[in-house]
Amino acid sequence: MEDKICIITGANSGIGKATALGLAKMNAVVVMLCRSKDTGKIAQKEIISESGNKKVDLLLCDLSSHEQIRKFVSEFKQKYQNLHVLINNAGVMASKRKLSVDGFEMNFAVNHLAPFLLTNLLLDVLKKSTPSRIVNVSSGGHRMAKMDFDDLQSENKKHRLMRVYGVSKLAFMLFSYELSRILDGTGVTVNTLHPGLVNTNLGREMSKFGRGFGKLFFKNPEKGAETSIYLASSPEVEGITGKYYIKKEQKESSKESYNEEYARRLWEISATLTKLE
Binding flag, residue 90, ligand NAP (CB under 6 A): yes
Q: Which is the catalytic residue, given 80, 165, 245, 258?
A: 165
- Does the active-site annotation cover 230? no
Of the residues 10, 22, 115, 166, which one makes contact with ligand NAP according to CB under 6 A: 10
Binding flag, residue 168, ligand NAP (CB under 6 A): no
Of the residues 35, 84, 112, 243, which one makes contact with ligand NAP according to CB under 6 A: 35
Binding flag, residue 125, ligand NAP (CB under 6 A): no
Residue 63 or 231: the one with the smaller Cβ distance to ligand NAP is 63
d(CA 182, CA 260): 12
Smallest gap from Cβ 187 to ligand NAP, in A, equals: 26
N-term to C-term CA, the chain: 33
Phi and psi at 271, nearest 5°, equal: -65, -40
Smallest gap from Cβ 39 to ligand NAP, in A, equals: 6
d(CA 173, CA 244): 9
If phi over 0 gives left and psi between -120 and 50 gives alpha, with beta otherwise, what is residue 185?
A: left
| Cα–Cα separations (whole angstroms), residue 223 to 91, 122, 137, 197 | 18, 28, 14, 10
Binding flag, residue 115, ligand NAP (CB under 6 A): no
Binding flag, residue 154, ligand NAP (CB under 6 A): no
Residue span 68-87 as binding mask against ligand NAP, x where in contact by CB under 6 A, dash where not: --------------------
Check: CB of residue 191 under 8 Å from CB of residue 80: no
Of the residues 195, 230, 253, 257, which one makes contact with ligand NAP according to CB under 6 A: 195
d(CA 88, CA 192): 9
Binding flag, residue 63, ligand NAP (CB under 6 A): yes
| Cα–Cα separations (whole angstroms), residue 180 to 65, 70, 234 | 25, 22, 18
Amino acid at 51: S
Residues that bind ligand NAP (CB under 6 A): 10, 12-16, 35-36, 39, 62-64, 89-92, 110, 137, 139, 194-195, 197-198, 200-202, 218
Query: Residues with catalytic annotation?
Result: 165
